[in-house]
């Protein structure tokens, strides 16, 4: 019986090794059938999701190598290039994605810019690239310079104390619960509002309005928040509200 069990385990190990991409995640796309996108869209997307899941544990260097292999192969198929770029954007940039990775999205954006295949969408992608690089952990906090309180007076950054910043669109159903959820965070609370709806009235927040939010943030991600210490260094990067 023990001999049989050892045989089964050994066989399983060989099978798993055969199914794994050669060279780890770095070889994930080497033998993948990119052309299957047209005949099996769902299967191709599932395969990409498997890759995104692997990036959670893989070193960034290996994931970047794998991305370069993918984009090298996509260069021959413009339609597939657009589709996979959109998947990369959704996986590595979207603030609600479980695979969000600022470094990998930066790599993707730089690759798209260098390839020049998506020239028509270049401005949009590079705008996301700028948003992606703001308010990362350990960076100085960046806030819109045109923020004003309801009375019209400008709001100065509260140096010398911790600060929690929540970006909301008052028209969003999730934003009021987000204000309540973060009301107990330490330090000062700043709610950056955009849109045309009336600012909410949850107490404990300094409500500011900016007319040009897209200079700093991707509005489609709202509500999201970040925090900084008393010295103005980001301690919690852009995050969805749990």
What is the pLDDT at residue 15?
A: 30
Angle at 186 between CA 183 and CA 188, to 5 degrees: 75
Q: How confident is the model at residue 4 (pLDDT cuts 50, 70, 90)?
A: very low
Q: Regarding predicted confidence, which is higher, 65 or 131? A: 65
What average pLDDT does this structure show over 139-149? Answer: 80
Instruction: Find out whether 207 and 193 touch, Cβ atoms under 8 Å.
Output: yes
Which pair of tokens denotes residue 58? Answer: 């893989």
Question: Is the confidence at residue 162, as pLDDT, over 70?
Answer: yes
Q: Regarding predicted confidence, which is higher, 71 or 152? A: 71
DSSP letter (8 states) at residue 231 = T
% of the chain beyond a pLDDT of 90: 45
Q: Regarding predicted confidence, which is higher, 50 or 151? A: 50
Question: Is the confidence at residue 163, as pLDDT, over 50?
Answer: yes
Q: Which of 10-14, 166-170, 173-177, 182-186 has the lowest mean pLDDT?
A: 10-14
Distance CA 61, CA 26 (A): 8
**H helix or E strand, kind and range, residue 164:** strand 163-168
What average pLDDT does this structure show over 105-122? Answer: 91
Q: Which of 18-32, 48-62, 64-78, 197-211 has the lowest mean pLDDT?
A: 18-32
What is the pLDDT at residue 155?
A: 73
Q: Regarding predicted confidence, which is higher, 150 or 10? A: 150
Question: Is the confidence at residue 169, as pLDDT, over 90?
Answer: no
What is the pLDDT at residue 43?
A: 94
Distance CA 100, CA 226 (A): 15
Distance CA 70, CA 74 (A): 6
What is the pLDDT at residue 6?
A: 33
- What does each C-alpha distance from 112 to 15, 28, 128, 174 come to in angstroms? 36, 20, 12, 33
Q: DSSP states of 60-120 as a string? A: HHHHHHHHHHHHHHHTT-HHHHHHHHHHHHHHHT-TT-TT--HHHHHHHHHHHHHH-TTGG
What is the pLDDT at residue 143?
A: 81
What is the pLDDT at residue 36?
A: 83
pTM, two decimals, is 0.75
Q: Regarding predicted confidence, which is higher, 222 or 102? A: 102
Instruction: Name, in order, each residue with C-beta under 8 angstroms of 219's C-beta and a sequence gap of 6 or more.
Output: 169, 194, 213
Which pair of tokens denotes residue 145? Answer: 């310079």
């Amino acid at each position: 019986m023990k001999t049989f069990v050892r045989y089964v385990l050994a066989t399983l190990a060989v099978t798993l090794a055969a199914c794994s991409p050669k060279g780890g995640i770095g070889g994930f796309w080497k033998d993948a059938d990119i052309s299957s996108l047209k005949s099996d869209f769902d299967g191709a997307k599932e395969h990409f999701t498997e890759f995104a899941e692997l990036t959670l544990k893989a070193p960034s260097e290996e994931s970047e190598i794998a991305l370069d292999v993918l984009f090298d192969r996509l260069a021959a198929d413009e339609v597939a290039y657009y589709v996979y770029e959109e998947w990369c954007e959704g996986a590595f940039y979207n603030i609600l994605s479980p695979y969000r990775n600022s470094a990998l999205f930066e790599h993707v954006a730089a690759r798209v810019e260098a390839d020049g295949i998506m020239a028509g969408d270049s401005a949009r992608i590079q705008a996301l690239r700028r948003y992606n690089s703001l308010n990362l952990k350990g960076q100085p906090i960046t806030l819109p310079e045109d923020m004003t309180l309801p009375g019209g007076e400008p709001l100065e950054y509260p140096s010398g104390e911790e600060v929690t910043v929540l970006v909301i669109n008052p028209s969003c159903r999730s934003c009021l619960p987000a204000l309540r959820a973060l009301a107990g965070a330490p330090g000062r609370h700043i709610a950056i509002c955009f849109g045309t709806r009336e600012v909410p009235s949850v107490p404990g927040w300094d409500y500011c309005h900016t007319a040009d939010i897209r200079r700093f943030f991707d509005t489609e991600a709202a509500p999201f928040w970040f925090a900084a210490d008393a010295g103005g260094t980001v301690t919690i990067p852009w995050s969805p509200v749990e």
